[in-house]
Amino acid sequence: MTLKDLAHQLGVHYSTVSRVMNPATRHMVAVDVAARVMQAADDLGFRPNRIAAGLRTGRSRLVGVVLPDIGNPIFPSILWGLEQVLAEQGYVPIVVNVGADTQRQRFIIDQMVGRQVDGLILATAERDDAILDHCVKEGIPVVIVNRGEDIGRVSCVVSDNRLAMRLTVDHLVGLGHRKIGQISGPHTLSTGFLRKEGFIDAVKANGLKKAQWVSIDSTAYTREAGQVACAALLDKLPGLTAIAASNDLVALGCYDVLRDKGLRCPEDISVVGHNDMPFVDALYPALTTIRIPLREMGAHAGRLILQRIAEPASDGVSIVLRPELIVRGSTAAPASLTTDGKAAAKA
């Protein structure tokens, strides 16, 4: 059965059925007529031939979404916001997990393009990214989400990583911490690079001397990488009283190391995470962290890729979202201050 067959069965014009079958144009048809067409299509088992429609229009209404780690809890919220925007225009995301292997990334992207996705949303971009070079060279509509690149050739949606570190350091210094360590992300990623730069700027702005702070890179945004980095940080800055972690999974690795060493959080060492991933409020202690508007990030990415698909020659747009510090139980004044305060009260 074709659209014309269905239109004949219902006694309506072909264009009416065509509009109803396309979610992006369904609003152009009266609600009762649209409902009647949808019901008839369902009763008769009619399904639009998307391949044929794609050949005719040059659009598949598919968007490829490439993730570095589908196990990272930030991505479901990003995908939620993205899918809602795409659905409004009749687009469907195809989500693929590729890891950090650039050869696999190139293979997956070529496979998606070969299957005629209309555009790509990359959460895998590095600061200097050969995969992105390939996409730009091939003229593929691309948007970067959560990460950026150094050159700024394509549209991106990111959080303000420098501000996030300023909020973190201001909070810790305000509590009285004067020996603060940071575990930044991998320096090859914009998130790791900018969070490190933001941390260094923030400790200097707060008047901390070089002997009072240190920043080291983690090899990945994982709990295991956080464990390794935290152990190295404790060795490198003896007596530190606070840790700014590059993300919540890294902060979990810090919790593990502190527990193994018999150190209490926050009594001995305060910990701040980044991302406010689900369930960090249920940890003990509940994690103080930086909240990123992840669903909003996904929605912006959806709008940007639709714009780029519609206008391939349009200029790139950079959207920077404002983070928010969420204070919970993993941060408190250093033990030395609380002890001195108790002593002064007794005196």
What would the pLDDT profile of 4-17 be if each residue is shown by its tens digit? 888 888 888 878 88
Cis peptide before 23 (omega within 30 of 0): no
Residue 216 in 3-state DSSP? strand
Do 209 and 237 form a contact (C-beta atoms < 8 A)?
A: no
Residue 135: per-residue pLDDT? 86
The domain limits of the chain are 3-48, 60-159+294-320, 161-288+327-341
* Cα gap 276→328, rounded to integer Å: 11
Q: Which two tokens stand for residue 221?
A: 């945004």
Q: What is the DSSP letter of 128?
A: S
pTM, two decimal places? 0.80
Do 270 and 286 form a contact (C-beta atoms < 8 A)?
A: no
Q: What percent of the chain has pLDDT over 70?
A: 93
The stretch 76-92 carries a mean pLDDT of 94
Alpha-carbon Rg of the chain, whole angstroms?
25
Superfamily for the 161-288+327-341 domain:
Response regulator (3.40.50.2300)
DSSP 33-93: HHHHHHHHHHHTT----HHHHHHHHS---EEEEEES-TTSTTHHHHHHHHHHHHHHTT-EE
**CATH of span 3-48:** 1.10.260
What would the pLDDT profile of 180-190 be if each residue is shown by its tens digit? 999 999 999 99
Residue 50: per-residue pLDDT? 53
Residue 59: per-residue pLDDT? 64
The stretch 28-45 carries a mean pLDDT of 84
* Cα gap 235→251, rounded to integer Å: 17
The residue type at 230: C
Residue 298: per-residue pLDDT? 97
60-159+294-320, CATH topology level: Rossmann fold (3.40.50)
The stretch 240-246 carries a mean pLDDT of 97
Residue 58: per-residue pLDDT? 55
- Note whether 3-48 and 161-288+327-341 share their fold: no
Q: Within the chain, where are the H helices?
A: 3-10, 14-21, 31-43, 50-57, 75-88, 102-114, 130-138, 161-175, 190-205, 223-236, 248-260, 294-310, 335-346
* Cα gap 71→271, rounded to integer Å: 23
Q: Which two tokens stand for residue 50?
A: 């998307």
Q: Which two tokens stand for residue 71?
A: 């196990």
What would the pLDDT profile of 143-169 be if each residue is shown by its tens digit? 999 998 877 789 999 999 999 999 999
